[in-house]
Amino acid sequence: MTSGSFAENLLTWYDQHGRHNLPWHHDRNAYRVWVSEIMLQQTQVATVIPYFQAFIERFPDVQSLAEAPVDDVLSHWSGLGYYARARNLQKAAQTVMEDFGGTFPGTQEELESLTGIGRSTAAAIIAQAFGKRAAILDGNVKRVLARYHAVPGWPGQTSVLKQLWEHAEAHTPNERVRDYTQGIMDLGAMVCTRSRPACHDCPLHGGCTAYARKETNLYPGSKPKKAKPEKTTWMVILEDHEGRILLERRPPSGIWGGLWSLPELDPAFGPDELQEACEQKLGLDCDEPELISGFRHTFSHYHLHIQPARLGVTGQNTLRDDGQQKWLHRHEALSLGLPAPIRTLLTNPEQGTLPG
């Protein structure tokens, strides 16, 4: 089967079965496409849609995003995960304002110069926003091409990725590239799924090597597994006599970077040592701790066991001088950018085991 028939068959399927009415398809421009592409990294379309709509309502253009307080940006990302995406999004918006006069660049090289934009995301913006030919290779496309051509190995390996890019370039047509890129992403998400692909509904199964060999389960190859480390921390809900809770901003890089969270204490402390630990680390006099059911939150590279405890603050509620702490009522805290498990904990502190 030629590369031309690959694209033709895919486009015929897309016309009948593809997604044509996604929010970023309306008033389509580089900014809206870019925001959607960043949100769709590691995240399914159904999850992204309400976040995208709320984000665009608050930040309708690149200037409003560039000039917004970082807490506002993070609060509109709260719950979407992979928070470095939000910080990179704003940094890139600021670069567009400073270096490109507020106009989104339209070349692969210029787009890749922006923070958080790689080869495939840049190509998606070029194809979707500007209608120019550019080959994409997101997770869904990798799966389609790995099966179609029976490319062995994990796509994270350089040699495997190189082969997949060559196939992506070869199959991308010169015409209707906007529909083609949406179509191949839709095919991977809706038909050529990770498990139980609907091969009989696939417009490409006639030329698919993995299907012909009945080996779709072998492609793409899996990432070599490593046991995730287990970590533990105390998270303390410190509440003063006004009902305010102490929050701390996390460092700009790393897990939950830049978000507001609860103070953490060394897991080596026993429950009966938390009062003293709060005084030593935070300079606060507290009541005896009330333990709340712990839970596990899983990150991409480790499991974190969170043991929450609630302590009333009896003395003066001091703050550090660096502006990285705040005493806030719960409704004020929930308006900030918070990690999802912290938001759940503050919303329903009496809940038992919380979702990871």
Catalytic residue among 37, 98, 109, 290: 37
Q: Give the number of other CB atoms < 10 A from CB of residue 321.
A: 7
Tokens of 275: 């009062």
Peptide bond into 252 cis (omega under 30): no
Q: Which residues contact 11 (CB under 8 A, 6 or more apart)?
A: 173, 176, 179, 180, 183
Q: Yes or no: say if 133 and 127 are a contact pair by the CB < 8 Å rule.
A: yes
DSSP run (H or E) holding 305: strand 303-312
- Annotated active-site residue 37? The verdict is yes
Q: Which one, of 310, 317, 305, lies nearest residue 354 by Cα? A: 305
Strands 295-298 and 325-328 turn out to be unpaired
Each residue of 81-90: b (16+ CB within 10 Å) or e? bebbbbbbbb
Tokens of 122: 């840049």
| DSSP per-residue codes, 80-122 | T--THHHHHHHHHHHHHHHHSTTPPP-SHHHHHTSTT--HHHH
Burial of 270 (0-12, 13-18, 19+ CB in 10 A): exposed
- Catalytic positions, written as ranges: 37
